[in-house]
Structure 1
C-alpha cells in the first residue's frame, strides 16, 4: 500500500484542535456541516475553492416523490431495478421516504427550482424512472443547490471554512495531516469526529464527466486508515458526454433524453430500440454499452443525440447551459445533432457505511459519493445522487455529533521521517498520470475481461515501482499526492473487477457476460483483511 508520507518531507507543522471536521464542500458535506452546526462547531476543509465540487457540475436534477401521481413504492422499485439486484432495500427506503423533507428544507432556503406556468414545481423524467419526479433548475441544478447551501453555510457562525487544504493522511484515531496549498505548509489537526464527503473518482479515467479534482481522495484516505470499502467494481459510465477530439468531456444531461432526445448512429439511424424496450430511457449501463456497440459496428468515435424535433424556444429555456456550451463549438442543438460518447461518471461503491454514515472505524463517517450506502447497487438510478447527499449527509452528521461530542481531544506528538529520494519533475509526473489514466480507460472501462484487467494490474504495478523512487517538491506535491490516491483507488477497482466473475449493472465482463442469478455476492476490501 502506498503511503503518501513516503513522498514528502515535513520539516515543521502547525497544530490545531477542531471539534468536528467535514472534508468536502459538495451537497453531502454542506448538508452535514449545517446539521452539525445546530449544536457544535464544525470546520469544513476543501482542497480547492469552495465551489469546485461535483455537485456544482451536476446538471439534470434531483429525484423525489412529490407529484400526486407518484408514490414511494414506485421510486423504491425504480431504484432497485436500476441497481440490478445489489441495492440495500432498507437504505433505498430511507432515501426515498426522507427525501421529500430534505427537499422542502431547500425550498425553505429559497432554492429556484423550475416551475410550471401555474406555479407548481416542474418535474421531468429520466432513464429508468417510471414517473416524472426529477426537480430541476434549468440544466444547472447542482449549482443552484450548491448556491443555497453555501449561502446558509457562510451565514452560520458555527461553521469555519478552510479552502486549499489537502488532506494528506490520517494520523491515528483523531488526527489528520493537511497541506495548505497557498501557504505551502503542513498542519496536524486533531478532532472529535470527521465526515468524509470528498466525492468521486472519475479523474482516474482518461475520459470523465467529472472535474479534475475527483481523484478518489476520501476513499484512499479511509482505506489507508483501515476502513472497509465495498462495491468498488461498480463504476458508472454516463452514456452521453460531448465528444470532440482533444477536448475535455462535457456532460450532456440525461434530461435531454428524458425530454425526448433520440440517439442516432453516423448513418442517421435510431438504434436504442434494438437494445432495450425502453430505448433512450434504458438504464445508463445499457445505454453506454449500446453506444459502444454502435460505435464499433459503424467504426465511429461517437454517436449523435438528436433534439432537432423539439421546440427551439423550449430547448433554449430548459437547457441554457448545454445550449451555450454547444454553441461555442458551432452546434445549435435545435438544428444540429450533438456528438456524444460515454465517459466515467459515478462510483456506486466506496467507503462502506451503515444507514447512519458510520464507517468500520469509530469517529470516522462518510456521506455522498465517497460512501457506499447500498442505495445505488450495481448501477445508480439517474438523479438519485444529489438526494443521497442530502439524506445521508444529514444522518451522518447527527450520528457524528451523538457519538463524538464528548470525546476529549488529545494533542499527540508526531514525528515524520526524512525522505531521502530525488524530486520528480512535473513533466515526468504528468507522463505517469497520463499513462495510468489511459490504462484505466482501455482496460478497466465499460467492457472488461480477465486478460485486460490483469494487464492493467501489471502495468500499474510498474508505474507504482517507478513513482516509489521519487519524492514530491512544491510544484508537484498536490498532483503527486492526488496521484498516490488515484493509484490506490484504481488498483482496488481492478482487484474488485477481477473478483466479480459475472456481469451485473455497470460491471460488464466479456468473459463472464451472464449474471449469477443464484446468489448475490458483495466484495469488500480493507488493508486489514486484504
Structure 2
C-alpha cells in the first residue's frame, strides 16, 4: 500500500518537528523517524539557543560574532536573516510551553549564558538540557495533532524523482522508506518533501552524536542530483567526557562559559598560549589546541576544571552533566574531569536558499542536513538550534505558497522491487566496512589533515563504495546497510571537498597548507553531481 501526504518530513528533531507543527493545521503531514521520535541529536543538545534577548546585546553584535567565527565564509545575508528571526522563534517555543531557565538575580527574566565566540550573554537555555526540553515539548504537540501521522522506526531509502521515473519534469515525488519493524519498503508520495535528517558525524570513530547521525539526507539529495557545499568543515566539540563507557558524552560549552578551565595532566592551563580569548575561543581553535597538546605530550586526554566555583552553583547550573559525571566516578564540584574532542557537527550539507529550497523542485532541506551559509567555516556555539527553528519557519512559509499536493494521478510510482535480491548471509561485511570507514576517517580526515592522509582516505573510500554498491545490488536492504551506504558516500564527499581546499580555514586544517589564503576572495566548496557510475563523482565549483 502506498501512502499519500501533502508534506513528507524526514527527521524528528527540532527542525522537522517545528516545520510539521507550523504546517499541520492546513496540510496532512507524514513524519518519519529512524528510531523512536526523540532519538536524534536535538535530544542531546545541552547548551541552548543563541538569540538577541538581553538589553545590552544587539543584532549587529550577534551578526558580527557569527561572521568572525565563520572565518570569512558566512553568507552575511543569511546570518542577518537568521539573527533577525531569533527572538520570535524563542517566543514561539515559549508559547508552546517550553520552560527556559529563569534568572534568580533578575526576577521575571530568563537566564542567559555565554559560550565560545559570543561577545555577550545571549544563549537562552533550560538548565543544561535545552535540546531535551525542546524535543519533548515539540514531541508532545506533534503526537496530539490530528493532521500529523508519525512513522517511527522507519528509515528513508531514497528519494523518488521525476527523472528516475522517466518524466520530462524532474521534481521530488516522495521517498521509498524502509519500515524497520515489518522489514518492508513502502512508497510515501508527497507534494513537498522536507529533509530534516541531521548531520553525518557518525562518519568518525569518536563522536558526541547518537547512532542516527549517518548523513542520510545529504546522501539521498546527492543521489537525486542536488549540490552539496562545504563538506570539509566538520566541527569537533572540544570537550567530551573521556571514559571507556561514556560513549563520548558531551560536556557543555557553557561550563567554559561560566569559568571552567582546560588543564594539562600536571594541572597547568594552556589555552592562553593559543588564543587571547582562552577557553572562550571558537570551537575550532579550542579543539586544535587540545589535539596539539595531547599529541605533544602523548596524553590520552586533557582536563576541564570548574571546581573553583561554589558546589551549589555547579549543581544548579549543570545538573545533567553533574549527575552523568558522578555515574562515571567524577565529581565536578571536587576536581577536574578528563575530556577529549569528538566529531560534533556537520557545517556543510545540501545547498539551499533562504527558504530551505534545494536544487530539486518539491524538495527542502532544513537543520544540520542543510548548507544555508549561516555557519561558514565554523559554527558558533548554539547557532545550530537557532538555524533549525528559523529555517523550519522559512520553509513552512514557502511551502504555503506552493501547491502542497501530490502529483496528478497519472504519475505511476512503482513499488519497491525485491524480485532479484536475497537475504544477506554475510552481515559481517557491513560490520567490517562500517568499522574501517569510521577509523580511517578519524585518522586521516580528522582535526588535522595532510595531502597524503587525504589521498589514503580517498583510495580507501573508493574501494568501500565499490564493495557496498555490489552488496546493495544483490541483497535486501537493512537499516545497517542503508546507513553504511550513506556514510560511505558522505565520507567521499568530505574527502573530495577537503582535497580541493588548498588552505587552512576554520574547521579545515591541512599541515601542507597551514596558512589561511586571503589573497583571493574566500570561496565555498560546492560539489555538483555528474553522470557517472561512481557514487561520489562530482565537479567542484568555487563560489
TM-score, normalisation: structure 2: 0.92
Q: What is the SS of the residue equivalent to 2:178?
A: strand
Contact 1:351 1:359 in 2 (8 A): yes
**8 A contact 2:498–2:508 mirrored in 1:** yes
Name the SS for the 1:376 alignment partner. coil
Aligned to 2:165: none
Deviation at 1:422, TM superposition (A): 7.5
Cα distance change, pair 421–80 in 1 and its aligned pair in 2 (3 A): same
Aligned to 2:150: 161
Residues of 1 paired with 2:442 and 2:32: CA distance? Answer: 30
CA–CA separation in structure 1 for the residues paired with 2:453 and 2:29: 45
Judge conservation of contact 1:203–1:214 (CA < 8 Å) in 2.
yes
Q: Does 1:520 align with 2:522?
A: yes
| Contact 2:173/2:407 (<8 A) preserved | no
Question: Which residue pairs with 1:273 in the alignment?
Answer: 272
1:365–1:396 contact (8 Å) kept in structure 2: yes
Unaligned runs of 5+ in 1: 1-13
Question: Are the equivalent residues in 2 in contact too, given 1:422–1:469 (CA < 8 A)?
Answer: no
Q: Deviations over 1:131-153 (max 9, x none)?
A: 00011111110000112111221
2:47 aligned with 1:60, yes or no?
Answer: yes
Compute the displacement of 1:424 (Å).
Answer: 4.8
* 2-structure distance, mates of 1:427, 1:292: 33
Structure 1 residues 51-83: Cα deviation after superposition (integer angstroms, max 9, x where no partner) = 111101000111110100001000000000000
Please name the residue that 1:8 is paired with.
Answer: none
Q: Distance in 2 between matches of 1:113 and 1:447?
A: 37
Counterparts of 1:255-404 in structure 2, within 5 Å, are 255-404=254-403
4+ residue runs of structure 1 moved beyond 6 angstroms? 472-476
Q: Over residues 139-176 of structure 1, what are the superposed CA-to-partner deviations in whole Å (9 max), with x where a residue is unaligned?
A: 11000011211122122222111111111011223131
The 2-side partners of 1:175 and 1:25 are apart by: 17
Q: Which residue matches 1:122? A: 111
TM-fit CA distance, 1:407: 5.2
For residues 109-258 of structure 1, the aligned pairs below 5 Å read 109-117=96-104, 118-172=107-161, 173-245=172-244, 247-258=246-257
Query: What SS does structure 2 have at the residue aligned with 1:188?
Result: strand
Cα distance in 2, alignment partners of residues 461 and 421 from structure 1:
25
Distance in 1 separating the partners of 2:266 and 2:193: 53
- SS at structure 1 position matched to 2:108: coil
Larger mean Cα displacement after TM superposition, 486-495 or 33-42: 33-42
Superposition pairs for residues 1-16 of structure 1, below 5 Å?
14-16=1-3
| Equivalence for 1:486 | 487
Q: Tell me by how many angstroms 1:38 deviates.
A: 3.0
Whether the aligned pair in 1 keeps the contact of 2:158 and 2:177 (CA below 8 Å) is yes
How far 1:115 sits from its partner (Å)? Answer: 0.5
Deviates more, 1:211-220 or 1:171-180: 171-180
| 1:23 and 2:24 matched | no
1:47 is aligned, of 34, 38, 51, to 34
Distance 1:292 1:42, change over 3 A: same
1:139/1:315 CA distance change after superposition, 3 Å: same
Larger CA deviation: 132-141 vs 426-435: 426-435
Q: CA-to-partner distance for each residue in 1:388-447, whole Å, 9 max, x for gaps? A: 100001111221231232553444142636445772533332121011100100000000
Residues 260, 474 of structure 1: alpha-carbon distance in 2 compared, 3 angstrom cutoff: farther
Q: Secondary structure at the match of 2:85?
A: helix
User: What secondary structure sits across from 2:214 in the alignment?
Assistant: coil
| Aligned counterpart, 1:450 | 451
Q: Residues 103-128 of structure 1: CA distance to partner in whole angstroms, max 9, x if unpaired?
A: 01111122111111223100010001
Q: Report the Cα distance in structure 1 between the residues aligned to 2:390 and 2:290, rounded to whole angstroms.
A: 33
Question: Which stretch of structure 1 is more off in the superposition, 455-464 or 60-69?
Answer: 455-464
Any conservation in 1 of the 2:240–2:339 contact (CA below 8 Å)?
yes
**Structure 2 Cα separation of the partners of residues 271 and 500 of structure 1:** 29
Question: Per the alignment, in what secondary structure is the counterpart of residue 33 of structure 1?
Answer: helix
- Cα distance between partner residues in 1 of 2:4 and 2:331: 54
Q: How far, CA to CA, are the matches of 1:73 and 1:146 in structure 2?
A: 29
TM-score of the pair, normalised by structure 1:
0.95
Contact 1:425–1:476, Cα closer than 8 Å, also in 2: no
Q: Secondary structure at the match of 1:490?
A: helix
Q: 3-state SS of the aligned residue for 1:171? A: strand
Looking at structure 1, the residues matched to 421 and 211 of structure 2 have their Cα atoms a distance apart, in angstroms, of: 30
| 8 A Cα contact 1:91 1:373, kept in partner | yes
Count of residues in correspondence between the two structures = 517
Distance 1:74 1:308 in 2: 31
Consecutive unaligned residues in structure 2, runs of 5 or more = 162-171, 531-537
Q: Is the 8 A contact 1:184 1:474 kept in 2?
A: no
Give, in angstroms, the shift of residue 306 of structure 1: 0.6
How much has 1:472 moved relative to structure 2?
8.8
8 Å Cα contact 2:116-2:280 kept in structure 1: yes
**Is the counterpart of residue 414 in structure 1 residue 414 in structure 2?**
yes
